[in-house]
Structure 1
Amino acid sequence: MKLQHLFITIIALTFFNCKQDTWQLKRIQGEQININDTLQADAEIEAFIKPYREHVNKDLDSVLSYAVATYSKSDGEFNTAIGNLFADAVYEQSNPVFFKRTGKNIDMVLLNHGGIRAIISKGPVTSRTGFEIMPFENSIVVVGIKGSQINDMTNYLSKAKRAHPIAKLHLVLDVDYNVKEADISGEAIDTTRTYYVATNDYLYSGGDHMTFFQPEESLHILDYKIRNALIDYFKQTDTIKPVIDNRFIKLKN
């Protein structure tokens, strides 16, 4: 990718009189400087950062787990193996934290399809894999919302027609993309009950038009990045083998 720095020089004239200074813009001029392979590295700077780069690369490339196949977010229509892994990993890693602080369990997880930024390749899984999948600094939050807002969520998912990663929520659409079945951990959604939904701070704030998180009954900030939860999951899981299942499907007839 070609990067460019734009330097702009602003030249102004100052007019002085006995009462006050008056500034007027006379000219703006700029220059583009391309940053590409033709620029020579500074040997002294390279020598200084080399040990740090090697240390970081060693940490990033340390093998944490093994994937039995290659997984992509384009592999399924309404749920994907990598998306299911993503949501399940967030649940497994964040629920103990939430329970320790509140004495309650997370009821479900909702993340966004666009938040998955890379594939998991067959073979060794490393910390670098986690950074590639989730390069953003998004953190996990647990939002307490009413069951009526969960219904708003399922309606959103039915209209979005995307494989947004979910865990603990089971959703079935009819042939016309209407919600036919929806339950959490096998139980019908109670519109008066408060459900604790793990998501990321971007979606909580209305990202991807997910406005159903607010107003919330409660908000718990876990201080736990999505990426770190994923890497911790890799460390605890010897073999990665997620599957496409029936957590979010559409009936064909």
Structure 2
Amino acid sequence: MISYFSGFLAQPEVQAQTSSQHITKVAVIIETHEQLSCLCSLLEDIGKQKLYQTKIDIYVVNNATEDVTPADLQRFYFADIRLLQPGKYLGNYGGFYYGLRFVSKLRYDYVWLLDDDVRLDPLALTTLITTLQENHEVGLVGSQIYQLKEPKTIQEFGRLINDGKPQAKINFDKNGNILNDEILKSKPYIRVEDFTDKSLLLRHKIVKHGVFKGYRLHYNDIDLCSRVKQAGWIIAINPSSIIWYNSLAPDFWSGINYDYECSFYYWQKYRPDLL
């Protein structure tokens, strides 16, 4: 079965190590599919990020949501915010791919993918930026996810894919597989093979070089992370970057056919010898 990391770390004071002559540019892509109130709460959290020599531009992809209009975004002045209107429903997480296609021709250092139903710790972005700046082998880095209703309960901390047989599982017992500080001691990040895109920072060069060409993101992102890994990059989690997510009940996810479709897609594409 799939192995999961989970653990709780005290968040350190993090400051990006950048040259005084360089401003780090980050494109923030938000796929909106919830209510306007969720998006506004997320934008408020982005505005509270503690950043060092960093400029962010925000691209909100309206994936057939009628609640969001350009006028709704005008009250946020901390960054340039652009509403992208595909004009049709792009499917689950198709908005992320639409946003990646849009920013692929622009000049940025990093791209931050965010779901509109998460809340952010003030150091969430700076911690991810520091991880990529100091570890050039890492192509993608994600945040540790806690449950919004139980702020100290871990929802997800990345996944390892078991090569033995094609099994997939999303949720796990919140009391199981807890890592202690000794396992993470002196490590700048935890290496994983897959994690969700609730909060994911990737190098812009990955998008520019076409890793995402002809694809869109899947729900549990096994395909996304596998393609990036095959391109030679490490997939990582930094548990000091913290977000909160209002997760649904585990029983709900077990009945979603889309979940299984993505899992079988991975095994058919990357490990057909095990089927």
TM-score range, shorter chain: under 0.3
**Structure with the larger helix share:** 1
**Structure with the larger strand share:** 1
TM-score by length of 1: 0.22
| Structure with max Cα Rg | 1
